[in-house]
Amino acid sequence: MNDRLPGSLFARGSLRLLVGTAVAVPIYNLLVVMPDKSISDWFKVPLCVVFALCAALTSIPAGASLRHNLDQETRLHRAVGTYFLFLALLIFQALAFPALKATWESSQPTFIAAGTLVAVEALVLSYLKKIAWDRAVKLTGDSVAHGQ
């Protein structure tokens, strides 16, 4: 059984891009999308940075190599799940939150359309997670998760 997670899903360059985006998106939202907010809203920026670093250290992919007592299925579940949770939060921060804020201020029918867009994004992410899970199982040669 292979103890390494698939490099294509959790490559070092992808991780840097993900963490960099997590740092940049809240700063962009505070400076461009919501420039009228007070200084108290800046607490969101360090929280996003801390979350990005914790995700990097716990599951993408360092956690898998640090926790040898976990079986392959558990490591794959945690890594793929955290990766896509993180991706969903980034998409919500970058696209959905500013869209929902702007449409709520303009009209409620547009707000409903933006909410529908968020639901569609969630469905697409769910499908992408299934593809990534299947690819992870294939690359590791592990057949424990074919029931999903």
Please say if the pLDDT value at position 52 is more than 60. Answer: no
Q: What is the pLDDT of residues 1-51, one digit of tens each?
A: 444 444 444 445 555 666 666 666 666 666 666 666 655 555 555 555 555
Q: How many CA atoms lie within 13 A of 82 on its CB side?
A: 23
Contact 26, 93 (CB under 8 A): yes
Would you state the pLDDT for residue 60? 47
List the Cα angle 46/50/55 in 5-degree steps.
150
Would you state the pLDDT for residue 7? 45
Please name which of 133, 60, 135 lies closest in space to residue 90, comparing C-alpha atoms.
60
What is the crossing angle of helices 72-91 and 108-140, to 10°?
Answer: 150
Q: What is the pLDDT of residues 74-98, one digit of tens each?
A: 666 666 676 677 666 766 666 666 6
Distance CA 41, CA 127 (A): 33
Would you state the pLDDT for residue 66? 47
Would you state the pLDDT for residue 36? 64
Please say if the pLDDT value at position 146 is more than 50. Answer: no
Identify the residue whose tokens are 């993180």: 86
